[in-house]
Amino acid sequence: MADLDGTQGDKEFYTDTPQEPPGFFLKGSHQYDWGLKNRLSRVFNPETGRTIMLAFDHGYFMGPTTGLERVDQTILPLEPHCDCLMLTRGIQRSIIPASTGKAIALRASGGTSMVSPMDEWEGELDGKPARLARPGYEPLSFEDTAVDIEEAIRLNASVLAVQVFIGGQHERRSLQNLTRTIDAANRYGIAVMGVVAVGRSMERTPKYFRMATRIMAELGAHIIKCYHTEEEFETITSCCPVPIVIAGGKKRPERDALQMAYDACRQGASGVDMGRNIFQSAAPVPMMKAVRGVVHGGMSPDEAFDLYRSLQDEA
Ligand code: R5P
């Protein structure tokens, strides 16, 4: 077994030496087929190697959360300023104009909700009747795949996003959702993004994120989405052989969110997949433009926050 005490010295993450993708711009992606590379080039800007995914798929388990009550009113004004729309097929078909030039990252796992029964569940597991009723039961981790590959092709998805609950009660099931989606997506040159879920029993430490992101990359995910950490984030990006984008997480002050995006990119992230810190901002379009300034425009957090405030004043 690797990592037994005494079998090796300190870990070496080579954080100062970027992993080269010879002949292509995106980490770990240089040996894919043409179609997949082309889709990734729509998601990630080949000039900067980074992406701004606008995440508004939260309704798939939360319903109309704050800022997403009317996606037509709140998200469509943001659409011109992002690179990729991360969404559900229901919102894509009902609200997003088919004329959009933005890449699509389609939510491809689901099946549970914020109000899934917390105490017990009865059904079938691995072909046998099962009843789950124990303290710490994690209903949210009991997801299934939610979109088949033909549907993803009809919706012209560039990316399929699958939630993975490493260390969670239904870890194995969520990893199978991931690998089955990867097998299907690889047949057609569509990328799969493994999304690191954080549940009650899962830590938000660099050690946890290094393990979770690496496991998903080893299983074949083309992109990984995870959270930023205050410490050692560069070790997470360094030992993950494919691009990492960060989720924004709960709404925080705009200056703090810009700092987080800046730090993450400087520490090796290939962009953001941000939702609430944009659409729940006091001024969503200025915030979107400020995030763009950080991710693609080389702005410092202060410069981007100044941009945010000046655009907010004009609005
Ligand atoms: C969570 O429900 C979704 O996977 C979101 O896409 C993800 O959490 C990113 O959104 P936020 O920046 O709001 O955390």
**Which is the closest atom of ligand 1 to the Cα of 274?**
12
92 inside domain: yes
Residues annotated catalytic, as ranges: 225
Query: Nearest Cα to 39, choosing from 210, 190, 227, 256?
Result: 190
CATH code for the domain of 128: 3.20.20.70
**Which ligand 1 atom sits nearest the alpha carbon of residue 249?**
14
Pocket of ligand 1 (CB under 6 A): 55, 57-58, 86, 195, 247-249, 273-277
**Within a domain: 208:** yes
Find the Cα–Cα–Cα–Cα dihedral 66, 71, 77, 80, rounded to 10°.
110
Residue 34 lies in a domain: no
Ligand 1, atom 3, residue with closest C-alpha: 58
Alpha helices in the chain (DSSP H): 34-43, 59-62, 71-74, 89-95, 149-154, 171-188, 206-218, 233-238, 254-266, 276-279, 284-295, 301-314
Q: How many angstroms is it from 286 CA to the middle of ligand 1?
A: 20
Which range marks the domain in which residue 167 is found?
A: 46-314
- pLDDT tens digit at each of 315 positions of the chain: 455 555 556 899 999 999 999 999 999 999 999 999 999 999 999 999 999 999 999 999 889 999 999 999 999 999 999 999 999 999 999 999 999 999 999 999 998 777 766 555 556 666 667 665 544 556 778 889 999 999 999 999 999 999 999 988 889 999 999 999 999 999 999 999 999 997 666 678 999 999 999 999 999 999 999 999 999 999 999 999 999 999 999 999 999 999 999 999 999 999 999 999 999 999 999 999 999 999 999 999 999 999 999 999 887
Task: Give the chain's domain count.
Answer: 1
Mutational test site, ligand 1, from 276, 288, 291, 295, max ligand atoms within 8 Å of CB: 276
Taking the C-alpha atoms of residue 118 and residue 104, their distance in angstroms, rounded to an integer, is: 33
Q: Is residue 7 part of a domain?
A: no
Q: Which residue has the tokens 């949210």?
A: 140
Q: What length does the chain have?
A: 315
Q: Measure the CA–CA gap between 21 and 37, rounded to whole angstroms.
A: 12
Which residue minimizes the CA distance to atom 2 of ligand 1? 58
- In the prediction, which pLDDT does 200 show? 60
Q: Which atom of ligand 1 is nearest to the CA of 56?
A: 6
Nearest CA to ligand 1 atom 1: 58
H or E, element range at 109: strand 109-110
The per-residue pLDDT for 204 is 85
36 CA from centroid of ligand 1 (Å)? 24
Q: Is 40 domain-assigned? A: no
Alpha-carbon gap, residue 292 to 11, rounded angstroms: 34
pLDDT at 135: 47
Residue pair 56/279 in contact by the 8 Å Cβ criterion = yes
**Is the residue at 206 inside a domain?**
yes
Spacing, Cα 276 to ligand 1 middle (Å) = 7
Which residue's CA is minimally distant from atom 10 of ligand 1?
275
Whose Cα sits closest to atom 7 in ligand 1?
247
Q: Is residue 72 part of a domain?
A: yes
Cα 261 to Cα 48, 70, 257, 265, 288: the distances in Å are: 15, 26, 6, 6, 12
Q: In angstroms, what is the span from residue 225 Cα to ligand 1's centroid?
A: 10
Distance from the alpha carbon of residue 127 to the mean position of ligand 1, in angstroms: 32
